[in-house]
Structure 1
Amino acid sequence: MTHSLRFFSLLGLFGLLGAGQSRAQSGPYASMPARPAAAVSTPAAAPAPPMVPAAPTINPDSVFINPEVRPQFVGGDKAFKAYLAKSIRYPQQALQRHVSGRVLVNFVLNAQGRVTDAHVISGPGSGLNDEALRLVWLMPPWEPARSNGQPVRVACTVPIAFSADR
Structure 2
Amino acid sequence: MEAKKKEHLKLEKQSGLYFAIGMTLILGLVYAALEWKTFDQIINGTFGQLEIPDSLEEEIPPLVQLLPPPPPKIQVPEFLEIIKNDDPEPETFIEPTEANQNTEVASVTSIEFAEEETPEEVIFINVEEVPVFPGCEKSDDKRACFQEKMLKHVRKNFKYPENAIDMGLQGKVYLQFTVQKDGTIGGLKMRGPHQILESEAARIISKLPKMKPGKQRNQAVKVPFSIPITFQLQ
Q: Same fold (TM over 0.5)?
A: yes
Structure 2 counterpart of 1:86: 156
- Residues 94 and 164, structure 1, Cα contact 8 Å, conserved in 2: no
5 Å-filtered alignment, 1:95-134, equals: 95-120=165-190, 122-125=191-194, 127-134=196-203
Query: Secondary structure of 2:221's match?
Result: strand
1:147 is aligned to 2:216: yes
CA 1:38–1:104: 2 relative to 1, 3 Å: closer
Question: 1:57 offset after TM fit, Å?
Answer: 5.0
1:37 is aligned to 2:86: no
Question: 1:91 offset after TM fit, Å?
Answer: 0.8
Query: Secondary structure of 1:159's match?
Result: strand
- Residues of 1 paired with 2:114 and 2:215: CA distance? 17
Question: 1:111 offset after TM fit, Å?
Answer: 1.3
Question: 1:38 offset after TM fit, Å?
Answer: 7.5
- Residues of 2 paired with 1:129 and 1:97: CA distance? 15
Q: Which of the pair has the greater relative contact order for Cα pairs under 8 Å at 6+ separation? A: 1
- What is the identity percentage for the equivalent residue pairs of Structure 1 and Structure 2? 21
One-letter amino acid of the structure 2 residue matched with residue 36 of structure 1: Q
Q: Which structure has the larger Rg over C-alpha atoms?
A: 2
- Residues 99 and 126, structure 1, Cα contact 8 Å, conserved in 2: no
With normalisation by structure 2, the TM-score equals 0.47
CA 1:101–1:71: 2 relative to 1, 3 Å: farther
CA 1:54–1:135: 2 relative to 1, 3 Å: farther
Q: Which runs of no fewer than 5 residues in structure 1 stay unpaired?
A: 40-44
Structure 2 counterpart of 1:42: none
CA 1:37–1:137: 2 relative to 1, 3 Å: same
With normalisation by structure 1, the TM-score equals 0.64
One-letter amino acid of the structure 2 residue matched with residue 82 of structure 1: K
- Residues 106 and 158, structure 1, Cα contact 8 Å, conserved in 2: yes
Which structure carries more helix by proportion? Answer: 1
Structure 1 counterpart of 2:133: 73
1:137 is aligned to 2:206: yes
RMSD of aligned Cα (Å)? 3.1
CA 1:72–1:158: 2 relative to 1, 3 Å: farther
- Residues of 1 paired with 2:157 and 2:185: CA distance? 17
Which structure carries more strand by proportion? Answer: 1
Query: How many pairs does the alignment contain?
Result: 135
